[in-house]
Amino acid sequence: MSSNQREINYQFLTSSKNFLYDAREDGKTHTPFHYELLLFRAIQNGDRKGVEDSLTLYQNSGLIIGHMSDNPLREIHYWAVSTIAVAIHYAILGGLDESEAYQLSDEYIQEIDSLKTMEECIHYLCEKAMELVTKVKENTIPQCASPLINQCVHLIHIHLHSRLKIEDLAQSLHVSRDHLSAAFKKDRKISLHRYILDQKLQEAKHMLSHGMSINETSYTLCFCNESHFIQLFKKKYGMTPGEYVAGCSRC
């Protein structure tokens, strides 16, 4: 059974002014914190197997969730949104770029708003847990020793749709072009120009897989022309953008 098809039993605790007393009487309280911590730390570490194991743990033990609203649907949404918020924060701690992480958070929460049942929310959150841990594993920005390089990488990630020039990055960071290029190469073992190109091509794959045309992708990412984009894409991935899209369609 895939992660997003897991059947996980759940129970919402009832409203009570004497919650602690009732919990001791019934032997029922919230899902243990260490269960949650195992899941969130697996996301932070980009550990897909760890996330799978955590979801299996929930599948075997079930969920016990605190009372948050007298409106059942609102209660479900509150729980799902709070879970997403914590997962996103752990993904950022794991090195996922902040701008991308918060964009994902906004997308996830908007989609949660349309869900009508707890079962839908559970399946959705399982699916997104695997998506998020994969993004952390594949797209993590290494936390470099140099704050300068961390700032540079962040600038690149939030300006991928711009015509990124090393001189402009250097000016924004108040250093010379040569200093930034040398520091980046020393820290990341790759040239700054190469890193920018790799990030743009990686973003191109994401755009193409989500239905954007080759021409539109090339234009949005500020490649000089479509032919040049196709040439660079094929050199990087061993296939043209068209072949990549065709492969995505067959999946």
For the stretch 161-198, pLDDT in tens is 999 999 999 999 999 999 999 999 999 899 999 999 99
3-state class percentages of the chain: helix first, strand second, coil last, to nearest 5: 70, 0, 30
Range with top average pLDDT, 75-89, 106-120, 139-153, 220-234? 220-234
Mean pLDDT within 82-96: 90
Work out the mean pLDDT of the chain and round it to a whole number: 84
Reply yes or no on whether the pLDDT at 235 is more than 70: yes
**Chain segment 104-117, per-residue pLDDT in tens:** 999 999 999 899 88
The pLDDT value recorded for residue 93 is 85
Give the span between the Cα atoms of 124 and 126, in whole angstroms: 5
The pLDDT value recorded for residue 10 is 60
Reply yes or no on whether the pLDDT at 221 is more than 90: yes
Q: What pTM did the predictor assign?
A: 0.61
Per domain, the residue ranges of the chain are 3-139, 147-250
**Chain segment 111-150, per-residue pLDDT in tens:** 998 998 888 988 999 999 999 999 998 876 666 568 899 8
Reply yes or no on whether the pLDDT at 20 is more than 60: no
Give the span between the Cα atoms of 249 and 125, in whole angstroms: 25
Structure tokens at 121: 């929310």
Give the span between the Cα atoms of 58 and 36, in whole angstroms: 9
Q: Sorting pLDDT into bands at 50, 70 and 90, what band is 210?
A: confident
Question: In this structure, are strands 63-65 and 10-12 parallel, antiparallel, or unpaired?
Answer: parallel
CATH architecture of the region 147-250: Orthogonal Bundle (1.10)
